[in-house]
Amino acid sequence: MAQKLKILIAASEVYPYAKTGGLADIAGALPKALKQMGHDIRVIMPKHKVVAQCPLGIRPMGLDVTIPIGETQKMGFLYTSNLNEDIPVYFVGNESYFSRDPIYGTRYGDYSDNAERFIFFCQSVLEVCKSIGFQPDIIHCNDWQTGLVPAYLKTVYADDKFFKNTRTVFSIHNLGYQGNFPSSELKTAGLPFSIFTLEGAEFYNHFSFLKSALVFADLLTTVSPSYAKEIQTKAFGFKMDGVLRARSQDLFGILNGVDYQEWNPETDPAIEKNYDSKNRAGKLACKRKLADLFSLKIEDDTPLFSMVTRLSSQKGIDLVIETLDDLLDEGAAFVVLGSGDSMYEEYFSKLNKQYPDRVGVRIGFDEKLAHQILAGSDFLLMPSQYEPCGLTQMYSLKYGTVPVVRSVGGLADSIVEFNPKTLKGTGFKFKPFTPDHLRRAVLKALSVYRKKDRWQKLTANDMNADFGWDKAAKKYGQLYQSVLKK
């Protein structure tokens, strides 16, 4: 076997301790797959308020770290827990920074001290390694909240022997979130002003945590091969495309996997009745339960569409809004679970009042309901403007819930258009970002739904598709090995 590595995964959210989106799922699942490959894998995250509610439990380590913030020093208190029994997770606690709910900000905007909060976390990642005597071969950072770790290693810690052999991998989960702050935050971070250049951390006169990572990390990854290409273009690059093109040799796209321990209708404790591809009876029980939960008045054969999503324009909500009337005219029903942009929250709440029998709306974040929706509906809509990977469509496959998606990023990579002649394929895709193209995809999907034998075949294809983590973890393992030779 390849060399056993010491790997630290740093992320601002890790399931089941804290979750706002797909990042948490990945940061919770990848370590398990890497552990199975024999690596010494650990995880580090902030001790957000919600962490205390996790059934896995956390305990104080009796250790602390002292972190310079501008002219002052702040303390981080360390806690630990075990993911899957044998993976240590470390939490950096600081009441004033992290004892908050929600994690990143309120509906009125991000917390004004987010720069300082994550400057503190990034330095803590390195100080915790020293404090517990863990010399990682790889620190695998994720998204802008961990973006300064590579910058610290290449500057402030450049001569620190403890990290002499440590390399960094940085994963982009969503290029749209960049952590761009006033340049004065460089001082808070204690990073040299010399990195505030076009080739460094400067981004349109701001200090960018994301760009710092794109420049200073030894290797870059993102969460699907298509997204890896897209982000090097102007259309998807969020003005970072030039930086990414400059590093294209070091940028790899690896499609995320699915944690089938968590997302599997055969064993899922959250759903009404378990089922699998051979024994489907449970799916109907789940559909009836879902209709009940949302007080929908539908028949067993009413096509039921769903979304479980952040309510953000990225997710193509505008297209859905423009297509919903047609969908209802076709005799379909619709449920949505989501939170985010108040404009969308209000729209869906109104729609629910207008069509209480046909449209179900739950505003908020509800892990159990997410499982119930994926199990109980017939179709999942994901018409995203852009989609780095997307996990929900891969979860829905396993539950025999057919995805109708825009062919972009990870959606393009994970869903194969169903061909009614060959009976191959797993879902329905469209490309131009217009309501009309979404409508056509929906109509195609409905026509297959109405032909029982085709529908049986399509949903069997979906439930048998395998997106387990093994493949992805193997690729990460290879990349880690390659970066150590740099």
Instruction: Quote the radius of gyration of the chain (alpha carbons, Å).
Output: 23
Q: What's the rounded Cα separation, in Å, for the pair 334 and 241?
A: 37
Rounded to a whole number of angstroms, the minimum distance from the CB of residue 485 to ligand ADP is 32
Binding of residue 392 to ligand ADP (CB under 6 A): yes
Q: Which of 116, 250, 237 is nearest to 179 (CA)?
A: 116
Cβ proximity of 369 and 393 under 8 Å: no
C-alpha dist (Å) from residue 486 to 3, 168, 219, 246, 250: 16, 11, 10, 17, 11
Binding of residue 338 to ligand ADP (CB under 6 A): yes
Using the contact rule CB under 6 A, the part of the chain among 47-55, 127-135, 332-340, 417-425 near ligand ADP is 332-340
Size of site (CB under 6 A) for ligand ADP: 17
Residue 103 or 308 having the CB closest to ligand ADP:
308
Q: How buried is residue 433: exposed, middle or buried, by Cβ count under 10 Å (0-12/13-18/19+)?
A: middle
Rounded to a whole number of angstroms, the minimum distance from the CB of residue 25 to ligand ADP is 5
**Which of 168, 180, 339, 407 is the binder for ligand ADP (CB under 6 A)?**
339
Q: Is the omega angle on the peptide bond into residue 16 within 30 degrees of 0, that is, cis?
A: yes
Cβ proximity of 14 and 24 under 8 Å: yes
Place of tokens 């159990």: 368
Rounded to a whole number of angstroms, the minimum distance from the CB of residue 15 to ligand ADP is 8
DSSP, residue by residue, 330-358: TT-EEEEEEEE-HHHHHHHHHHHHH-TTT
Rounded to a whole number of angstroms, the minimum distance from the CB of residue 102 to ligand ADP is 12
| Per-residue tokens: 152 | 């610290």
Comparing every residue's Cβ against ligand ADP, the nearest one is 22
Cβ proximity of 28 and 259 under 8 Å: yes
Q: How buried is residue 476: exposed, middle or buried, by Cβ count under 10 Å (0-12/13-18/19+)?
A: buried
Binding of residue 137 to ligand ADP (CB under 6 A): no
Using the contact rule CB under 6 A, the part of the chain among 69-77, 385-393, 396-404, 431-439 near ligand ADP is 385-393
Using the contact rule CB under 6 A, the part of the chain among 224-232, 238-246, 363-371, 434-442 near ligand ADP is 363-371
Binding of residue 308 to ligand ADP (CB under 6 A): yes
Rounded to a whole number of angstroms, the minimum distance from the CB of residue 308 to ligand ADP is 5
Q: What's the rounded Cα separation, in Å, for the pair 38 and 395?
A: 26
Evaluated on CA atoms 284, 285, 286, 290, the torsion sign reads: positive
Cβ proximity of 409 and 388 under 8 Å: yes
Residue 128 or 382 having the CB closest to ligand ADP:
382
Binding of residue 310 to ligand ADP (CB under 6 A): yes
C-alpha dist (Å) from residue 58 to 5, 61, 88, 169, 314: 25, 9, 11, 27, 35
Binding of residue 25 to ligand ADP (CB under 6 A): yes
Q: What is the DSSP letter of 427?
A: B
Rounded to a whole number of angstroms, the minimum distance from the CB of residue 341 to ligand ADP is 12
Binding of residue 365 to ligand ADP (CB under 6 A): yes
Binding of residue 330 to ligand ADP (CB under 6 A): no
**Which of 276, 326, 345, 366 is the binder for ligand ADP (CB under 6 A)?**
366
Q: What's the rounded Cα separation, in Å, for the pair 107 and 366?
A: 17
Using the contact rule CB under 6 A, the part of the chain among 119-127, 199-207, 388-396, 468-476 near ligand ADP is 388-396
Binding of residue 391 to ligand ADP (CB under 6 A): yes
| Per-residue tokens: 91 | 């939490």
Q: What's the rounded Cα separation, in Å, for the pair 147 and 214?
A: 8
Binding of residue 21 to ligand ADP (CB under 6 A): yes
Angle made by CA atoms 153, 149, 201, in degrees to the nearest 5:
90
* Residues in CB range of 249: below 8 A, 6 or more apart: none
- Residues 418-477 close enough to bind ligand ADP by CB under 6 A: none
**Which of 13, 17, 22, 411 is the binder for ligand ADP (CB under 6 A)?**
22
Q: How many residues does the chain have?
A: 486
Binding of residue 367 to ligand ADP (CB under 6 A): yes
Residue 251 or 370 having the CB closest to ligand ADP:
370
**Which of 27, 30, 92, 370 is the binder for ligand ADP (CB under 6 A)?**
370
Residue 215 or 337 having the CB closest to ligand ADP:
337
Using the contact rule CB under 6 A, the part of the chain among 89-97, 117-125, 224-232, 331-339 near ligand ADP is 331-339
Using the contact rule CB under 6 A, the part of the chain among 33-41, 46-54, 244-252, 336-344 near ligand ADP is 336-344
Rounded to a whole number of angstroms, the minimum distance from the CB of residue 365 to ligand ADP is 4
Residue 166 or 224 having the CB closest to ligand ADP:
224
Residue 129 or 389 having the CB closest to ligand ADP:
389
**Which of 147, 257, 303, 390 is the binder for ligand ADP (CB under 6 A)?**
390
Residue 25 or 218 having the CB closest to ligand ADP:
25
- Positions touching ligand ADP (CB under 6 A) are 21-22, 25, 308-310, 337-339, 365-367, 370, 389-392
